[in-house]
Structure 1
């Protein structure tokens, strides 16, 4: 892939968009779930911020994403807004790199989406020219800006998905277009300080290649939980300057590249994935069955005689699909306490993904019969008159079979 130039005709740009299509597919119909995923070994702590962290801010805060660079090394992100990486030849040799690979400018203008950004989806065809979709937040409390009725510091927070690029194997990234034209998925509505829950595109899975398209799933937060949903988008290899989003009856244009950056249409998406599930955090394709596997955190209510809810089953669940449109019901993979379950000082888990470190796919978008569940465990510890929350990156081996 040639070096990056910011123009519509750029080959690197074409490769980027071809690899980074994110959007939404609708409708939920249960599909046959013949794939069984089970835990096959004990946990391994890959990273402990109290032991291995470069500083007090080195905290995993996103699902793990990986790619293989042009030197054959695995580069893995599970970043916070400082976007540090781990580098090695596989899970057993990964080491943290203390250099920040990208940091947003921290600007106090919500229209720019340049406050804090987390790298969350990565595409590369050669390991040198690397492109990413980032979750970009504007957080008003950080700038002492008003928020009507604020009770939590995330109130009035607004979020979009922005594009980034690297020409040095992912060592450094910069925005793909000047803010706010770096956002193919900006917030559906402008920022307001009297709206505590702003409609937003919040998170994105990793990218999976299938039948000449590259797919990912994004979480579109609405005014209410009922209207929030997972959405699927795709980029065709023969038209990489256009992103299409599934509306329930077909794919429609969502964003088009121009010389000035992304030109966006307010095309809404339909729901994909099992009903009642919040944001899907990881997506892989099982090479043996050619089924897709989606991983997410979820809770299933169990019957309880005293209606205390203590019989709920919470943790990391998965669903499977043969076509990305019809998904199986949630199945429990790994029971874990989630944030609502944790009392003061109690650990909880978040941000699941599935990665096979010997995948032949440069994006680690495929798995065979052995892979790993990767997630973050938050471990509160007392500190003076409050709690600090160190974090661990955990790996659990899993088996995938028909």
Structure 2
């Protein structure tokens, strides 16, 4: 999350939220929760979209979030995979993307946990015209930055707390401001108030792409709990004609979560049921396959084999309704943070983008798409570690 030299644990929790209003959807055929309706296969070598050591604007220009893209009103691809400085890449596809060194949004760095205005990462965007652009950001309060106490601290990320906040741009995403004055800019605020004696605070940390289906905008958010086993992916939605009102799936029905008022977000309910396979961490990518109207979730995972070994890397699940998902299916073998030794590269923030998608927010895929993730490459520097990063893609075929 942070663009400074970090502990590896920090890399697991960065997030933000993006959405769009687009036509799509249809009547779907249900599949078994334990079977995959689609088969995904990596079909070629990787391409490096961006290397911070080669094309970075400065030492802080580090991809630190899942890649999200939209087309602006000039037809250009605007792609974010930002750290807290929220820079973007501009072009017409992966091969032509160039970094824009201007910061498009920076939080105020305030040392008040209840404001959620310390550092914010743009993670999701929705727009129906490419000019007026809305975003959900992952907003973190980090006590170590303000020399505030945290009982039993062993890592810089201890005691940090997180919520999902809204932002708005009226210039095609070149600059953003909060939608709602802090702390009323958060439709998904931390479920419990900040405490300096709790190393892992309950938090809404990250969110996937938005899917427009049957007149609703859907997304999956990651809710982290103090007890890790209770952390879960949650399904949320907003009416497509009223994205200022959000609901959460409680296992039986959608219940009201938050509504935007003149005074900002009024939060009614932040609890939610688990969706997706048990044992997986945060789902980072969510797209709709146009040919079958099935949904694909992308995430990092470790799978224990019958012989006692494990397989780790990037996995996927498929679903016909976003509530019932297939078991984890292997996609790409990559070292994750726990697998990498000192100086070994590892993968984070995996998602999927079809650069030929006709959807303005690239939330649909056809039979050919790209797996996109960040590769972190630790290197020794003056007795410490610096961690340059690459944004890489792999071609993926999608078949029934």
* Alignment TM-score, normalising by the size of structure 2: 0.91
Residue 225 of structure 1 pairs with residue 228 of structure 2: yes
Distance 2:76 2:391 in 1: 19
**Aligned residue for 2:74?**
71
2:363 aligns with one of 347, 365, 382: 365
Kindly state the Cα deviation for residue 275 of structure 1 after the two structures are TM-superposed: 1.1
Asked if the contact 1:285–1:291 (Cα under 8 Å) also holds between the matched residues in 2, the reply is yes
**Aligned residue for 2:14?**
none
Query: Matches of residues 44-193 of structure 1 in structure 2 within 5 Å?
Result: 44-193=47-196
Query: Matches of residues 2-401 of structure 1 in structure 2 within 5 Å?
Result: 19=21, 30-304=33-307, 311-401=309-399
Gaps of 5+ in 2: 1-17, 23-30
* Residues 53-111 of structure 1 deviation map (CA, whole Å, 9 limit, x = unaligned): 00000000000000000000000000000011011011111111111100000000000
> Aligned with 1:111: secondary structure?
helix
Distance 2:233 2:372 in 1: 21
Distance 1:387-1:171 versus aligned 2 partners, 3 A rule:
same
Distance 1:37-1:227 versus aligned 2 partners, 3 A rule:
same
> Aligned with 1:141: secondary structure?
helix
Cα RMSD of the aligned pairs, angstroms, is 1.6
Distance 1:243 1:379 in 2: 38
Kindly state the Cα deviation for residue 19 of structure 1 after the two structures are TM-superposed: 4.7
> Aligned with 2:95: secondary structure?
helix
* Residues 213-233 of structure 1 deviation map (CA, whole Å, 9 limit, x = unaligned): 111110000111111100011
Distance 1:390 1:239 in 2: 40
Asked if the contact 1:252–1:267 (Cα under 8 Å) also holds between the matched residues in 2, the reply is no
Distance 1:351 1:207 in 2: 16
Distance 1:98 1:167 in 2: 19
Distance 1:377 1:238 in 2: 37
Asked if the contact 2:256–2:269 (Cα under 8 Å) also holds between the matched residues in 1, the reply is no
Kindly state the Cα deviation for residue 32 of structure 1 after the two structures are TM-superposed: 3.6
Distance 1:19 1:399 in 2: 26
Kindly state the Cα deviation for residue 267 of structure 1 after the two structures are TM-superposed: 3.5
Asked if the contact 1:119–1:133 (Cα under 8 Å) also holds between the matched residues in 2, the reply is yes
Large movers: runs of 4+ above 3 Å: 16-20, 238-241
> Aligned with 1:226: secondary structure?
helix
Asked if the contact 1:17–1:240 (Cα under 8 Å) also holds between the matched residues in 2, the reply is no
Kindly state the Cα deviation for residue 382 of structure 1 after the two structures are TM-superposed: 1.2
Equivalences, count: 375
Asked if the contact 1:43–1:397 (Cα under 8 Å) also holds between the matched residues in 2, the reply is yes
Distance 1:241 1:109 in 2: 26
Kindly state the Cα deviation for residue 31 of structure 1 after the two structures are TM-superposed: 4.8
Distance 2:299 2:183 in 1: 30
Distance 2:341 2:20 in 1: 44
Distance 1:84 1:218 in 2: 23
Distance 1:253 1:34 in 2: 31
